[in-house]
Structure 1
């Protein structure tokens, strides 16, 4: 049996289509009745490594030829490490597990180091971040949604102008985008060694600069011209 919110399929098309052209390594957290196993098997390219995990030992019965089912706790760092050593690195991870905020955070933090360059990590059913019974609640700092919002800040820490209040976060070297949908958050991993560069073009010549990242006390060039 498969249960999904109808609007998720449009999000899958938008986020996952680019992963269908070649064999990938895919991991889904949460099996429940096993309905998504044949769905993802038919969706991704033949030859893909498809891994599914659940804490319920009964879910082992849902294994399908060409797929792998592992039983373990998604919030257990040791289990996640062993899983990554056996099957990783991953191209796509989809967390449809317990939906408990602390578990969602622990799973992302445990698996993020084992994601490939140009990979995607998606967390479903993030509306539980607004349910106290799942460790959430509106504007609760412990919720997964608030955790994801903070990652937006971290992604932009290249540009900090308040070093003590807002220091550089190394995840900025890996986090290319955080996209919020109704009940889904997608994190795109793109490993970069160099900081962002601005380019200027004049008379057919291009020059690159990172000067803006070192400046402090910046003000708008339009100050005084736009009513401020």
Structure 2
């Protein structure tokens, strides 16, 4: 686990609670953000154990903001960090938070784990993610617990919402305009990655539609014609047994 395995040996009395396999995901997804000062937001403070961990992980000079609904969490703020008290499902609070501390390069939702709260926070804060930034939601297994607003294949769960993000990201290519219209989030959603109990949405602003590249005999041409075609069929139709 690199940095994290070393850090865990240096923890103080502020408790940190994470599933063991999360640290590998952190290394994979966040290491590239260590090269320069960034703006980081974590929803959920609990006992404050993650504050010194992230402070040591990211580059010196990073702006680190933490949010919790419990006023007692304010005591965990330390030099170089801010702790804001508010409800992660309150759009007015989140708007004020983004105005004060955003935009953010990395947002990590480790808050209430209630599905409706996860969705509300994402919808309010996604516009405040920097280009090439990521939005991480952890403890997504609560999407399978009815007590958190989830349940297997419950459309109101965070996991089902995240699955729909995959559809929305691909709406550039719709061939069923009435039932599957273009979604504006396709202009800046680069990818959605699923790990055990963690989802990562990556932003890459791309206001222009995807382009097909053709290269032959040293000549490169670009085209968007494929996006305008309807009733597409595979070039292999009838040749592969279908």
TM-score by length of 1: 1.00
Structure 2 runs not aligned, ≥5 long: 1-14
Q: Structure 1 residue 29 and structure 2 residue 43: aligned? A: yes
Q: Identify the residue that residue 146 of structure 1 maps to in structure 2.
A: 160
Q: Identify the residue that residue 188 of structure 1 maps to in structure 2.
A: 202
1:1-228 alignment to 2 at 5 Å?
Answer: 1-228=15-242
Q: Distance in 1 between matches of 2:54 and 2:64?
A: 8
Q: Distance in 2 between matches of 1:223 and 1:108?
A: 41
CA deviation map 1:77-113 (0-9, x unaligned): 0000000000100000000000000000000001011
- DSSP-derived class of the 2:25 partner: helix
CA deviation map 1:196-215 (0-9, x unaligned): 00100011010000011000
Q: Distance in 2 between matches of 1:75 and 1:193?
A: 29
Displacement over 3 Å in runs of 4+: none
Structure 1 runs not aligned, ≥5 long: none
Count residues in correspondence: 228
Q: Distance in 2 between matches of 1:224 and 1:111?
A: 47
Alpha-carbon offset, residue 65 of structure 1 = 1.0
- DSSP-derived class of the 2:239 partner: coil
Q: Distance in 2 between matches of 1:154 and 1:221?
A: 25
CA deviation map 1:161-216 (0-9, x unaligned): 00001000000001000000000000001111110001000110100000110000
Alpha-carbon offset, residue 23 of structure 1 = 0.3
Q: Distance in 1 between matches of 2:152 and 2:163?
A: 13
